[in-house]
Amino acid sequence: MSSLISPKSIFILMGIGGALGLNPVLFGMGSRAPKAQEPPPRVLKKLISIDRIKAKPLLQNGVPVFDIEQAMNLQAYTAAIASREFTVKLGATETVVADTSRLNNEGLKLMSATQDSQVVLSYEDSCLASIPVLRIDGEMLDLQLISETGGKLRLDPKVGLDVGVEAEFRLKQTHFNAVYTATDAQRNRLLHSVTRQNTIKEKSGSFLLKFIELFTIGFDHYKITPIAKVVEQSLTGAFMDIANATRALQWEAPVIVSDGEFIAINAGFDAGIAVGDQFLVQNRTHYWRGEPCKSEFIASRPENESVAEIEIYDLQPTYSWAKVVRWNNPEQGIRPGARVQVKSLVKQK
């Protein structure tokens, strides 16, 4: 009998090996190189503003000695960036936005056609470039410090947390409760609200909270305390929750400069933009209660079709330069305040 294995036998062995999950190498058949894994698709970060996380101060005998609100807002900025979902516009939105939650495009058209409505139409409003996609607000609802002996210091929502004559506090547990909201900044429409309750318990002994250091050293001492850690937990969870709740909200950015074939948009590599990314541009009609950029902004209505397609060629941290690669309506041109939306993003390397 011949010792050679026939081609038919090889196929039979391969079929049995495959069914049993055996490696073809065991049969001397070699192996295929693993298929290169595609990188995940890029996602751009939405521009947000953190208007204010409200909090009452820490007091001693009724006198404010530490600004917890300022500390929380610094932590909020860090938590937003760390989420990898947002890029942050510093400072509050300067343009006053009207409540348009019940106002649709037909309503805007009707308002603009009514002579006595005092609604002003505008087609070029560069001041709107400062309005982010989302506006984040929040408020501390409760803060409790519990010592190893059961003593408790608790926030008075009207004045703050008064430590009285305490100089040190053996902190065993820290409870923190806060509410956060995300608003569509261009339409002044509430998109999401979340209340978070967080607790930190000291695992090995108590934390010696020295109020005298907190009052004098300030933020440097605060950031190593369980208070700062429980606030960080709250903010981190809140921003991830807001990111999940608003993920379906389409990414967009406004045009801030238009110069013929070249335009600048209010998003740069901080937002995840890359050279070669392409976008669609829609001009918009803006509605104001009075003089544009000097009165209450009502809303913007985009044109039905894009006026042009653009491609990024130069990046800065907070803005990008693009060139027109295709005109759909060259007679109209691109106006400042136009809306930019994603057409295609270059693949990650």
3-state class of 107 per DSSP? helix
Q: Which of 69-73, 119-123, 225-229 has the lowest mean pLDDT?
A: 119-123
Residue 273 predicted with pLDDT over 90 = yes
Residues 160-182 have pLDDT tens digits of: 999 998 899 999 999 999 999 99
Query: In the prediction, which pLDDT does 124 show?
Result: 57
136 compared with 51, residue with greater pLDDT:
136
**Which of 25-29, 226-230, 250-254 shows the highest mean pLDDT?**
226-230
What's the confidence (pLDDT) of residue 338? Answer: 87
Structural contact between residues 252 and 133, judged by C-beta atoms closer than 8 angstroms: yes
pLDDT reading at 110 higher than 70: no
Which region holds residue 47: left if phi is over 0, alpha if psi is between -120 and 50, else beta?
Answer: beta
pLDDT of 91 > 60? The answer is no
Query: In the block, which residue shows the tokens 């295929």?
Result: 32
So what's the pLDDT on residue 125?
Answer: 57
pLDDT digits (tens, 9 = 90+) for 233-259: 999 999 999 999 998 888 999 888 888
Fold of 46-93+131-245: Rossmann fold (3.40.50)
State pLDDT tens for residues 66-75: 999 999 999 9
Looking at residues 42-63, what average pLDDT do you find? 91
pLDDT-derived band at 102 (thresholds 50, 70, 90) equals: very low
The pLDDT of residue 278 is above 90: yes
Of all residues in the chain, what percent carry a pLDDT higher than 90? 48
Residue 257 near residue 338, CB atoms below 8 Å = no
pLDDT band at 293 (very low <50, low <70, confident <90, very high): confident
Distance of CA 20 to the CA centre of its chain: 48
In the DSSP assignment, the letter for residue 10 is H
Tokens of 133: 């996609």
Angle between helices 226-245 and 68-82 (to 10 degrees): 50
Least confident among 20-29, 75-84, 119-128, 182-191: 20-29
pLDDT score recorded for residue 73: 93
Instruction: State in words which class domain 122-127+251-344 has.
Output: mainly beta
Q: Mean pLDDT across the stretch 32-38?
A: 63
Considering the chain, tell me which residue range(s) the CATH 3.40.50 domain(s) occupy. Answer: 46-93+131-245
Phi then psi for residue 247, to 5 deg, are -65, -30
pLDDT of residue 340: 93
Label residue 128 exposed, middle or buried (CB < 10 Å: 0-12, 13-18, 19+).
buried
pLDDT class for 16, splitting at 50, 70, 90?
Answer: very low
List of residues 6+ apart from 322 with CB closer than 8 A: 262, 263, 264, 265, 279, 310, 311, 312, 313
Q: Supply the mean pLDDT for the chain.
A: 82
What pLDDT is recorded for position 209? Answer: 92
Shortest CA distance to 48 belongs to which of 140, 186, 177?
A: 186
Lowest mean pLDDT across 16-25, 153-162, 236-245, 259-268: 16-25
For residue 336, give every residue at least 6 positions away whose Cβ sits within 8 Å of its Cβ, in sequence order, or none.
124, 125, 126, 129, 254, 255, 256, 257, 258
Among the ranges given (36-40, 74-78, 95-99, 254-258), the one the predictor scored with the smallest mean pLDDT: 95-99
Question: What mean pLDDT is predicted for residues 204-225?
Answer: 90
Highest mean pLDDT among 9-18, 148-157, 292-301: 148-157
Element (H, E) at 222: helix 219-222
- What span, in angstroms and rounded, lies between the C-alpha atoms of 259 and 36? 43
CATH 2.40.10.410 residue ranges in the chain? 122-127+251-344
Between 28 and 211, whose confidence is greater?
Answer: 211
3-state secondary structure of 59: strand
Give yes or no for residue 95 having a pLDDT over 60: no
Residue-level pLDDT at 318: 86
Q: Whole-angstrom Cα distance, residue 197 to residue 52?
A: 19
Contact 181, 138 (CB under 8 A): yes
